[in-house]
Chain A
């Protein structure tokens, strides 16, 4: 019933501008105060696994934006014809199709990178953020809103991935996007001339957890409203 009501509302207010305040909030909210990783703590597994390199983080972000943006629209368009008993299966088929497209594109045009990302592109299917947005938003809202919501959530997820990837690659290997920025560790130039060494711990997934934890810490101490009541 809720879906029908929502649809009626959309029909009744066709004059709502594409980027109304409410719609803009759909994109900006997941970036900050309702971030899928730091606030809802969803999609942590891939955030830990693939963020050792900035490049992988960026590609993962683009992939998830694509899958979630398109997926949300498709589910939203079908929301009135999906029988609710088999909706999970339908959702899985949609997301699997999109993920296979991403996977094949990567294998064709960026084979090395797709090897780095290995199973994690495939595992986008099981990424909690995607099924979560399908269930919580796309099934109850129109395509345009669903699209914005999908883009917003994927970008919020990607923002954290990129921040974590930035620090892990910079401190772990001394490079950014594969380009050495701190000097050459073998020839001892740049920072390495002063005895600096790369932090191998940064390349292990537990350190990603620590970095995510630090981001959560900073975010919550800046905005105490986010701290849960005990």
Chain B
């Protein structure tokens, strides 16, 4: 008797009891159910919710693995044990076992806590409400470790996940009913609750905070800085990373957001499988470019001079905005969340454009929140139903007019 049969028997045993949804979920997550419909009228489709979620997770795995290497690389770079790599994506100095192991042991606990706590909340709610366990957390659980700094304490992550899943999703009725993207709700919670762990120039590199404490205490004299590119720009500092570093991802930042190359590969995969909406991705990038162009124009017109605190970020070439910060990650993996995004095609264009537009505006105007992408997406999540409403109403009006013209 295999595991599948065991699970099936367990499921049958608990059928009709309070715990039934929990066993049901474990069984159907691992295997095809024993009883499936064989005849009659029904639609055959391979892409159920679990399959959809799995495709998104597959597109995220490269970012996760790269994040592990990068966490180690940034750590050793900061401690001065290795040199900066210069020879492209496949540089030997980057893809080392040492680098990977540092990141692995920092990031795997984050993944485990994220899934463990999040799924526990989902199971508890399923049992209380007496419905099946929803798959919604599968993607959220993978996104969460990718959008936090590598040194975030695990208990903070656990608290934030509970908050995000309960307040961001369950109170609205669970998967498919939520207004806000749960992963971003979790990040927003962390950002406002524990700002010392979520922003600044020390949190992005593993070990930088402790080293900084040692420096303050006087036991270590080699200062290290893990300042992000946005942080440098916001303070009008020299940026010490080349464009190719930014594109390939050899920079400090949240775990999964640094490698633009891998995010683009993930995006192509999502678009190819028709899981992610290309309209939202493209319009978000257009919105970001438009805002960047406006700022460039303002600088060119001489309205903002070098003395201004906005000069650094405003004078960034408009297309470079896509390479710094997490605008690309947000556009591909966050804005396209089918539950919280706009549903109509026209609405998706407006929704995405405004996300990009507002992201860059927050980035430039508010140095306290150098990464405005998650705030912009949460804001537009709230407006998405309104956008859809007006798009649908506009459609109705246009058709009514046409009908009138025809009948008149």
Contacts and interface: CB of A to CB of B under 8 A. Distances in A.
Question: Are A and B interaction partners?
Answer: yes
Contacts of B153: 195, 197
A202 interface: yes
A56 B189 CA distance: 25
Interface in B179-214: 189, 192-197
Contacts of A200: 192-195
A204 B155 contact: no
Interface residues of B, number: 13
Contacts of A202: 193
B156 interface: yes
A197 B171 contact: no
A199 B155 contact: no
Nearest to A204: B192
A199 B192 CA distance: 8
B55 to A, nearest CB: 33
A201 B171 contact: no
B167 A197 contact: no
Nearest to A194: B155
Contacts of A204: 192
A72 to B, nearest CB: 36
A201 B192 contact: yes
Nearest to A214: B167
B193 A199 contact: yes
B193 A217 contact: no
A217 B171 contact: yes
Nearest to A172: B193
A80 to B, nearest CB: 47
Interface in A94-116: none
Interface in A173-214: 195-197, 199-202, 204, 210, 213
A213 B171 contact: yes
A169 B153 CA distance: 22
Interface in B136-194: 153, 155-156, 159, 167, 171, 189, 192-194
A201 B155 contact: no
Interface residues of A, number: 11
A135 B124 CA distance: 45
Contact of B193 (A195, A201, A213): A201
A201 B189 contact: yes
Contacts of A213: 167, 171
Nearest to B196: A197
Interface string B266-293: 0000000000000000000000000000
| Chain A binding surface, main DSSP class | helix
Given A213-B171, A217-B171, A195 B194 contact: no
A197 to B, nearest CB: 6
A210 B167 contact: yes
B266 to A, nearest CB: 30
Given A201-B189, A210-B167, A195 B155 contact: yes
A152 B29 CA distance: 53
B214 to A, nearest CB: 16
Contacts of A217: 171
Contacts of A195: 153, 155
Given A210-B167, A213-B171, A217-B171, A197 B156 contact: yes
A195 B157 CA distance: 13
Nearest to B194: A197
A197 B192 CA distance: 13
B144 to A, nearest CB: 17
Contacts of B156: 197
Nearest to B192: A201
A196 B156 CA distance: 9
A204 B193 CA distance: 9
Interface of B: 153, 155-156, 159, 167, 171, 189, 192-197
Given A201-B192, A204-B192, A213-B167, 11 more contacts: A195-B153, A195-B155, A196-B155, A197-B153, A197-B197, A200-B192, A200-B194, A200-B195, A201-B189, A202-B193, A213-B171
24 contacts: A195-B153, A195-B155, A196-B155, A197-B153, A197-B156, A197-B194, A197-B196, A197-B197, A199-B159, A199-B193, A199-B194, A200-B192, A200-B193, A200-B194, A200-B195, A201-B189, A201-B192, A201-B193, A202-B193, A204-B192, A210-B167, A213-B167, A213-B171, A217-B171
